[in-house]
Amino acid sequence: MAGNALSKMPLYPLRFEPIYQYRLWGGRRLGKLLSAPMPGGGPIGEAWLLSDRDDHPSMVADGPLKGSTIGELRERCPEQLLGRHDRQFSHFPLLLKFLDVSKRLSVQVHPSDACREFIPAGNTGKSEAWVVLEAGQKARIYAGLKPDTTRDALRQAVARGSVAEHLAGFAPKLGDSVFVPAGTVHSLDDVVVFEVQQNSDVTFRIYDWEQDDPETGRRRPLLVNQAMACIDFEQGAIGKVIPLVEGTTPVLREKLVRCEYFGMTRLSGQLPFVVGTAGVPRALVCLAGEGQVEHAGSLYPFGRGEVLLLPAALGACSCRPSGSVSLLEVSVPAWELQRSALHDVQ
C-alpha cells in the first residue's frame, strides 16, 4: 500500500498472521491453537504473534490494511498506533509468542538493559512472562537458582554437565503464570505457553541437555562467559504468580504481571466488557472461547489462539463474548508506571 494512502487509512483492531519458527525442542501442538497451517512436519517451537523485528515482521491478516507490516504502520502513523509515547521507541516494544516446548528448552539467561556490552544493535534487554496453556506429563518450569548457588559453583556445574542440580523449579498447571526478569536462569519442559517479552532476541545458553540439533547433527554452541556476566546471582527461586483480583463484574479481572516493560491482565467472563483505553495501545490474546471486539460500529471477530492489537487511537472498545471467553490484555508497555519504577509482581 502506498505510504500516503497508508498514513490516511484509519486504524482498527488489527489481527496479524502468525510466524512459525523451527526449534529443535519444539513439537506440533501449536496446530491445535492456531488456524494458520503449520509448515512441513518438523518441530515448530514458536509462533510469533506480534513482532516488529526486521527479520520477522508481523503482517496484518485482514481488513483494509491487509498485507501491511506493523513496522510500516509504525512509520506512517506512529502516534495513532503507539499514542503519546510514540517517540520513545524505534520499534514496537514487545514481542508476543506461543511456545511449544516438547523437549527441554536450553538452560539460558537473557541480559538486562544494564548489560549494554552484551546486547547487539537493534535489541534490548529481555524480561518476559509466561502463561501455561498446556502442561504435559513431564511439565516443568525452571526459574531461578537454588539458594547459595555461586558463580564458581555454577561454572563447575557447566563443566560437569550437572547444571540441573542448581535449578529451582516446579511442576506447572494450566493457567499458571510466571514472571522472569532479565538475568534469571531458566528453562521449560513439556509445556505450551504464551510468552510476552521485551522486543529482543538475545539468549545466552549455558547448558543444552546434551541435545543434538536434528537439522545440523551437532550441538548448539554455548555462550557461558556472556551468560555468567548477565546472571543475577541474587535472584532466588521464582514461583508462579499469585493473581491479584481487580474486579469480578461484568468480567473477572486478574492482574498477573506489572513491570516497567509490560503489564498483563487475564479477563474471564460471558458478558460484554470494556477492553483498551484512550491514548495507549493494548494487545488482546484469546486463550479460550471466541467473540468480537466492537469499534466505531464495526465488529472484529477473534477466536482461541488469535491476537488483536488495539492501536492507541481506538481508545476503549467493547468486547462481546460468544459464551465464555478468557483473554489476556497486554499493556504495551505499562506506561502508567514510571520507567524508573521497580518490578511490582503480584
CATH code assigned to 244-331: 2.60.120.10
Q: Are 263 and 310 in contact (CB under 8 A)?
A: no
Please give the pLDDT value at position 176. Answer: 98
Q: Where are the domains of the chain?
A: 3-230, 244-331
Q: From start to end of the chain, where are the E strands?
A: 14-15, 19-27, 44-50, 94-101, 107-109, 128-145, 167-170, 177-180, 186-198, 204-207, 244-247, 252-258, 263-269, 273-275, 282-288, 290-295, 298-303, 307-310, 317-321, 325-331
* Residue-wise pLDDT tens digits, 233-264: 998 999 999 999 999 999 999 999 999 999 99
Q: Which three cell numbers stand for residue 292?
A: 468480537
Cα distances from 266 to residues 96, 167, 247, 262, 329, in angstroms, run 15, 28, 11, 14, 6
Q: Which three cell numbers stand for residue 33?
A: 491453537
Alpha-carbon gap, residue 123 to 213, rounded angstroms: 25
Residues of the chain with pLDDT under 50: 336-346
Please give the pLDDT value at position 8. Answer: 66
Fold for domain 3-230? Jelly Rolls (2.60.120)
Please give the pLDDT value at position 87. Answer: 78
> What is the DSSP track for 27-80?
ESGGGGT-SSPPPSSS-EEEEEEE-B-SSSB-BB-SSTTTT-BHHHHHHHSHHH
Cis check for the bond before 250: say yes or no (omega within 30 of 0). Answer: yes
Q: Are 13 and 317 in contact (CB under 8 A)?
A: yes
The answer to whether domain 3-230 and domain 244-331 are alike in fold is: yes
* Residue-wise pLDDT tens digits, 287-344: 999 999 999 999 999 999 999 999 999 999 999 999 999 999 999 765 544 333 333 3
Whether the predicted model's global pTM rises above the 0.85 cut? yes
Task: Please tell me the total number of residues recorded for the chain in this structure.
Answer: 346
